[in-house]
């Protein structure tokens, strides 16, 4: 599967799971919307990734890497609170972000090999 399609799936997952998590919380802190904003950014730049724009693809990789590491603390928090749906939501966001990272790396490797 192409990196742009995987990134699109990741963006939609971040948007949907992040929104669900935000509206499920009673306190609704603004920080709970971070995955939503990241998903929105990835969705906006996905056309550049699809067109194989190197700069945009590298920006998407950086954003994906940041959110991947940024989701570790929320995962630990949901595990501590024993929130099963929260664990599933955050785990799904982590899995799709990791999948996107792998897709980007494979795409960069194949592009480098094609240029040789």
Alpha-carbon torsion angle 47, 67, 111, 44, nearest 10? 10
Per-residue pLDDT of the chain (116 residues; tens, 9 = 90+): 899 999 999 999 999 999 999 998 888 889 889 999 999 999 999 999 999 899 999 999 999 999 999 999 999 999 999 999 999 999 999 999 999 999 999 999 998 888 87
pLDDT at 26: 82
> Is pTM, for the whole model, over 0.85?
yes
| Angle of CA points 37, 34, 29, to nearest 5° | 125
The whole-angstrom separation of Cα 113 and Cα 108 is 9
Nearest-CA neighbor of 40 among 13, 21, 5, 65? Answer: 13
The whole-angstrom separation of Cα 94 and Cα 65 is 10
């Amino acid at each position: 599967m192409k990196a742009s399609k995987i990134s699109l799936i990741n963006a939609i997952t971040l948007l949907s799971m992040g929104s669900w998590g935000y509206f499920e919380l009673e306190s609704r802190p603004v920080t709970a919307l971070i995955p939503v904003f990241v998903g929105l950014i990835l969705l906006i730049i996905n056309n550049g990734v699809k067109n194989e724009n190197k700069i945009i693809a590298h920006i998407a990789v950086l954003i994906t890497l940041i959110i991947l590491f940024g989701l570790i603390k929320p995962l630990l928090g949901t595990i501590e609170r024993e929130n099963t749906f929260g664990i599933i939501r955050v785990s799904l966001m982590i899995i799709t972000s990791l999948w996107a990272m792998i897709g980007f790396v494979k795409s960069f490797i194949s592009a480098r090999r094609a240029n040789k």
